[in-house]
Amino acid sequence: MLKYFNIAGPCQPNEHYMLPAQERLANLLDLIEQKQYFVIHAARQSGKTTLLLDLVKQLNDSGDYYALYCSLESIQQITEMEKGVPAIVRTLASEVEFNQVLQGYIFAEKADEADFNNVLQKSLVYFCQKLDKPLVILFDEADCLSNGTLISFLRQLRSGYVNRGRVPFVHSIALVGMRNIRDYKSKIREDRETLGSASPFNIVTESLTLRNFNLEEMGRLYAQHTAQTGQIFPPEVVEKAFYYTQGQPWLVNAIAREIVEKMLAKDFTRPILPEYVDQAVQTLILRRDTHLDSLMERLKEERVQKIIEPVILGEAKGYDALDDDYRYVLDLGLLRQLNKQLVPANPIYGEVILRTLSSGSQAELEQQDYPPYAPAYLTEGKLDMRKLLGDFQAFWREHSESWIERYQYKEAAPHLILLAFLQRILNGGGRVTREMASGNGRLDLCIEYPANPKSKIQNYLYPIELKLRYSPKTSQEGQAQLAKYMDKLGCTEGWLIIFDRRKSISWSKKLFWKSYTVGDKIIHVVGC
């Protein structure tokens, strides 16, 4: 049977193209040998479960340990501690029953579920007493437990840990999920305080992150398809896919699958071209698979908004590396640090973040006849930006106040509404690319619109920069920034849109259009 690129559930070596997950997380076996309790955290669908299942098999095959995988995902909806902890015990019992190397052992036969504050610890003590080898447990989705259950779960593990010199207990435990151990604390106590001297967290030796693929690893993964089918992923294709995904495992597999199975219909004689990556990325963005939808649900959380909104606005923020909200958003995989700036974790996430936050306005615009689609703004094959942005100025004057009130991200609402407006116009022809980074003071956009087929130019580029007015210097600063962005794109004409949120200023002063020559460039400053 031919292997394939997997985008659903853990990878299986005999079915899927895959790389050993332990390559992306060193020293695991050393921690287990040293009897350590540790945390593994990484973003959704980055290979955590694949790693755990592989590690369980490796440990059991070694003959030195009994290793047990236990997912706590089914317990996340149980909010009562007195029900949640016994449910963990029953889940462990079920895992033991179906674990081939533990056949013949029964878990928790002497435990009393009514004693929920001790049932987990006692069950593990009783179980470890029977075993002739050390027990290793890998708890997947550990961070999904409700507050009370999580507190009791961690405290019972801690109590067993500190007493294991006197009574048998688990040799090594991994708590695995999306969140770092610091965020376990913030989930329990909103004021970010610890739980005091009896903290269940101080037994954790290491907090490890499962990193994304690097470019070389992506090449090796795609080369497995070549070895099986003869169909080559050329270096330029791998590099473009890496740019869009930054090695995020689900996206890496999803792009390859889209090209091989959907676009080329498993015709392995056809070459894989770089432009296929662009098409696959657009399909993923528009289709919004479960991976992207579940990640974007996090945008509704206030602590996520606190970090994401300044990135959209380009505002400089001095984030404390120990700040729980900052670490939380990085752990989710939404953002990453690049040259001391916060940026989207990859261009696909960046695009989907902005589309998600502006989707309500775009859906409403789609139900209207206004604004018209792009062909209505064409003059001699090029977009008439004066007419297009003039229409937005009129729309903004009429609707801005009521539309902004609908947004959770109110500071970023002007940017998001403009994006929805442009997306409505360009649907079916052309596209908008965005660049976000905290600290640069703006959001850079570029409209890319197809040129006339008879033209020597493939696409026309229209660079746009968005800024909020904070002082009289905003226009001058924006022009200088836009000029650099135009240099990057190789354009000689650009548009700087400045939103003036001051209520004391009349619309007759807010709405203006001024054009300047900056070196060899023409910059249009558009007031809104």
Burial class (CB in 10 A: 0-12, 13-18, 19+), 471: exposed
Spatial separation of the C-alpha atoms in residues 432 and 421, rounded to whole Å: 11
196 and 273 fall within a common domain: no
In the listed set 209, 235, 265, which residue is the last one of a domain according to the structure?
209
Nearest to 198 by CA among 159, 167, 149: 159
Strand partners, 449: 460
269 and 203 fall within a common domain: no
- Note the pTM of the prediction, 2 decimals: 0.87
514 and 392 fall within a common domain: yes
Structure tokens at 216: 């070389």
Q: Is residue 68 within 8 Å of residue 92, measured between CB atoms?
A: yes
398 and 493 fall within a common domain: yes
| pLDDT for res 332 | 86
| pLDDT for res 94 | 92
205 and 248 fall within a common domain: no
In tens, the pLDDT along 217-253 reads 999 999 999 999 999 999 999 999 999 999 999 999 9
Q: Cis (ω within 30 of 0) for the bond into 371?
A: yes
Ranges 355-364, 400-409, 437-446: which has the least confidence: 437-446
In tens, the pLDDT along 37-69 reads 998 988 888 889 999 999 999 999 999 999 999
| pLDDT for res 467 | 92
* pLDDT over 80 (residue 361): yes
202 and 273 fall within a common domain: no
378 and 442 fall within a common domain: yes
Kindly report the backbone phi and psi dihedral angles of residue 456, in degrees, each rounded to the nearest multiple of 5, phi listed first. Answer: -75, -15
274 and 233 fall within a common domain: yes
Q: Cα Rg for the chain, rounded, in angstroms? A: 27
* pLDDT over 70 (residue 456): no
Q: Is residue 424 part of a domain?
A: yes
369 and 239 fall within a common domain: no
In the listed set 157, 189, 209, which residue is the last one of a domain according to the structure?
209
Q: Is residue 341 part of a domain?
A: no
Strand partners, 515: 524
Spatial separation of the C-alpha atoms in residues 415 and 311, rounded to whole Å: 12
Q: Is residue 171 part of a domain?
A: yes
395 and 486 fall within a common domain: yes
Q: Is residue 339 part of a domain?
A: no
Determine the 3-state secondary structure of 172 from DSSP.
strand
What is the domain range of residue 502?
A: 361-527
Spatial separation of the C-alpha atoms in residues 327 and 313, rounded to whole Å: 20
* pLDDT over 60 (residue 209): yes
Q: How many distinct structural domains can be found in the chain?
A: 3
202 and 261 fall within a common domain: no
